């Protein structure tokens, strides 16, 4: 028996990230090669002409799994009965722009979308916020969708995990699939903490810890961290535009793992509502290592040994999230 299509919303659907994301979702890379999809594509009214071109291209791809495309500028149409949401649409960060400027512009967008989720979406909808500042946008979205569990709102730090894994793989001259369990703690910002202390790498068939494989703690606690933290800014400096292809791939990785589960012994980084684990501030969207079961429920990996160095880094990014939360809530006041 053929499966019923699932309804997948992509906001900012005429933008650069969506251009790559829609291809992967429609092809079956995210929800499965036997899972039909109906796409809800939301963008602002002035982008409807561009979105029309995107719809033409999706049709011209002749994807067997793509059953329906609904392009719209109406939040009610976009959010009605959706099973999954990629909230990509946001004002992008441009060269020289401060995160505070970004926060003020985007909080209002995600407040409105939270209300739309609350009113029109399925109550078990899985929401991934990609648009920056992603962690705090996800928190605001959740606040204005009180009928949907807080656990169903996540922020994307998978791009940071992918960036970190790639740096280690290139350094050790192994395939990136040989690197596992790098953790991104905290905020998707330049304060995030990419942590390799629990990561492993397969080198010529032998599995070892990443610190033992690299044998350079100064690099792992210095240039490695700053390279991952500043990678988004480096891409902007080179392209004059935000990361798009890599962001779309990370969004697909995140949602695929959420829907299909993580592999035994492996965990992934997701921005999720904090319960205070590892001394992090509660009630912010904080990136943790998580495992996901067949029930599509994530669990924070517990019992990891945290060094004093790591605790210091985790506190810095947690403090930033607390500050962002206060700024965002002040912008939200009606």
Residue 131 is labelled as binding a ligand: yes
Task: Confirm or deny that 7 is annotated as ligand binding.
Answer: no
Residue 43 annotated as binding site: yes
Q: Indicate which residue of 40, 188, 198, 254 is catalytic.
A: 188
Q: Is 160 annotated as ligand-binding?
A: no
State the Cα–Cα distance between residues 34 and 142, nearest whole angstrom. Answer: 31
- In order, the DSSP letters of 56-93 are HHHHHHT-TTEEEEEEES-HHHHHTT-SEEEE--SPPP
The edge-to-edge listing of strands for the beta sheet with 206-209 is 179-180, 200-203, 206-209
Query: SS3 of 307, please?
Result: coil
SS3 207: strand
* 99 in a labelled binding site: yes
Is 40 annotated in the active site?
no
Spatial separation of the C-alpha atoms in residues 14 and 70, rounded to whole Å: 13
- Phi–psi pair at 165, nearest 5 degrees: -60, -40
Q: Is 158 annotated as a binding residue?
A: no
> CA geometry: angle at 235 spanning 191 and 224, to 5°?
45
Q: How far is 283 from 280, CA to CA, in rounded Å?
A: 9
Distance, first Cα to last Cα, the chain: 49
Q: Which residues are annotated as a binding site?
A: 43, 93, 99, 106, 130-132, 163
Numbered residues of the known binding site for NAD(+): 43, 106, 130-132
Q: Which of the residues are catalytic?
A: 188
């Amino acid at each position: 028996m053929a499966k019923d299509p699932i309804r997948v919303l992509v906001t900012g659907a005429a933008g650069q990230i969506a251009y790559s994301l829609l291809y992967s979702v429609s092809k079956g890379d995210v929800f499965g090669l036997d899972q039909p999809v109906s796409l809800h594509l939301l963008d602002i009214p002035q982008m409807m002409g561009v979105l029309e071109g995107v719809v033409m291209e999706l049709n011209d791809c002749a994807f067997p799994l793509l059953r329906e495309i609904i392009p719209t500028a109406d939040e009610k149409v976009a959010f009605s009965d959706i099973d999954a949401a990629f909230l990509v649409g946001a004002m992008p960060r441009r060269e020289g722009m401060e995160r505070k400027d970004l926060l003020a512009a985007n909080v209002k967008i995600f407040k409105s979308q939270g209300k739309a989720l609350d009113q029109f979406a399925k109550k078990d909808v899985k929401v991934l916020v990609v648009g920056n500042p992603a962690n705090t946008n996800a928190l605001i979205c959740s606040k204005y969708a009180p009928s949907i569990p807080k656990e169903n709102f996540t922020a994307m730090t998978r791009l940071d995990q992918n960036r970190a894994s790639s740096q280690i793989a290139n350094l050790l001259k192994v395939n990136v699939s040989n690197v596992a369990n790098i953790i991104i703690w905290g905020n998707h910002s330049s304060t995030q903490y990419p942590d390799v202390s629990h990561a492993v790498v397969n080198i010529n068939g032998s599995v070892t810890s990443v610190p033992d494989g690299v044998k350079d703690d100064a690099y792992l606690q210095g240039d490695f961290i700053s390279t991952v933290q500043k990678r988004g800014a480096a891409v902007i400096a080179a392209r004059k535009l935000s990361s798009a292809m890599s962001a779309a791939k990370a969004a697909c990785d995140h949602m695929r793992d959420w829907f299909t589960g993580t592999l035994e012994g492996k965990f992934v980084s997701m921005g999720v509502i904090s319960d205070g684990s590892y001394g992090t501030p509660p009630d912010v969207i904080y990136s943790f290592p998580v495992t996901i079961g067949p029930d599509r429920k994530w669990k924070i990996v517990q019992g990891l040994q945290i060094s004093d160095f790591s605790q210091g880094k985790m506190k810095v990014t947690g403090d930033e999230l607390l500050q962002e939360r206060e700024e965002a809530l002040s912008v939200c006041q009606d």
